[in-house]
């Protein structure tokens, strides 16, 4: 499993702690310093079954500066959302758990992390 991680994020800390407790191996990706490409983010969205705006932190200062609250949420606008998150990775919801089974979850809740543990082959 790979975790898109921000060490300063309490949800990331909680997810790592739960995975450590369950002895689930993982790799950390410091996505703020190693941002995804547009192709990588598009693939993660496919794995999540989500749209770009579903995992965008629209309350961040960068989102306000870009005026994202007024952006359309349709097929034609999705590349714009993805480009913004690639340019400003702090806009990407965290932690994102990329499972070895090809799926992905946003690990913000204990239930989501527990699901990741269940889906991990130990």
Q: What is the 3-state secondary structure (H, E, C) of 25-37?
A: CCEEEECCCCCCC
State yes or no: is 9 an active-site residue.
Answer: yes
Catalytic residue, from 1, 2, 9, 108: name it.
Answer: 9
Residue 46, Cβ neighbours under 10 Å: how many?
11
Q: Which residues does the annotation mark as catalytic?
A: 9
């Amino acid at each position: 499993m790979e975790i898109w991680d921000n060490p300063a994020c309490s949800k990331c800390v909680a997810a790592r702690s739960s995975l450590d407790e369950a002895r689930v191996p993982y790799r950390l990706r410091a996505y703020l310093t190693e941002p995804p490409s547009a192709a990588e983010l598009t693939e993660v969205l496919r794995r999540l079954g989500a749209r770009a705006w579903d995992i965008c932190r629209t309350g961040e200062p960068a989102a306000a500066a870009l005026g994202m609250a007024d952006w359309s949420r349709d097929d034609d606008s999705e590349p714009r959302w993805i480009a913004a998150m690639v340019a400003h990775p702090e806009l990407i919801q965290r932690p994102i758990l990329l499972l070895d089974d090809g799926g992905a979850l946003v690990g913000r809740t204990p239930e989501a992390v527990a699901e990741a543990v269940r889906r991990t082959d130990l």
